[in-house]
């Protein structure tokens, strides 16, 4: 079965998902009430964004009186992993060995210790295939 690929979230979508991940289940009104400062938006904007996230498969919903009550279809860490998997696969498919080399170089630039973690992950993956 093929893994589902996810697109990166827009700024408002990410802000809405952060609220739902932290406080699920939630209605659009509850999410709107929790968004303040730069994230504050009109209720109808939040409602539309949540409907769009539902259509994208990121939010599940059930009717609760006149409103929809939303829950995340997958956890934040699960979504981030799936997003990273898709992005990495796309880059590797498009650029092959060059991308792989760039990834290793970037890993070392960020933190040399990550190279050790990368080596461990590769060893675990190879062990799992046997």
Tens digit of pLDDT at every position of the chain (130 positions): 556 788 999 999 999 999 999 999 999 999 999 998 878 899 999 999 999 999 999 999 999 999 999 999 999 999 999 999 999 999 999 999 999 999 899 988 988 899 999 999 989 989 886 5
- HSE on the CB side for 129, CA within 13 Å? 6
pTM over 0.85: no
Say what the pLDDT of residue 36 is.
82
d(CA 78, CA 114) in angstroms, rounded, equals 21
Q: How many CB atoms lie within 10 A of CB 96?
A: 10
Say what the pLDDT of residue 2 is.
57
d(CA 52, CA 81) in angstroms, rounded, equals 21
- HSE on the CB side for 76, CA within 13 Å? 12
Say what the pLDDT of residue 54 is.
98
């Amino acid at each position: 079965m093929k893994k589902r690929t996810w697109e990166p979230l827009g700024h408002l979508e990410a802000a809405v998902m952060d609220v739902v991940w932290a406080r699920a289940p939630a209605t659009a009104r509850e999410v709107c009430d929790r968004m303040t400062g730069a994230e504050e938006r009109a209720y109808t904007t939040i409602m539309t964004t949540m409907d769009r996230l539902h259509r994208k498969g990121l939010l599940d919903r059930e009717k609760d009186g006149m409103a929809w009550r939303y829950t995340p279809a997958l956890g934040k860490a699960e979504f981030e992993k799936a997003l990273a998997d898709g992005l990495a696969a796309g880059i590797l498919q498009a650029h092959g060995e060059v991308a792989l080399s760039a990834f290793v170089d970037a890993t070392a630039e960020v933190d040399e210790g990550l190279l050790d973690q990368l080596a461990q992950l590769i060893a675990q993956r190879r062990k799992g295939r046997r």
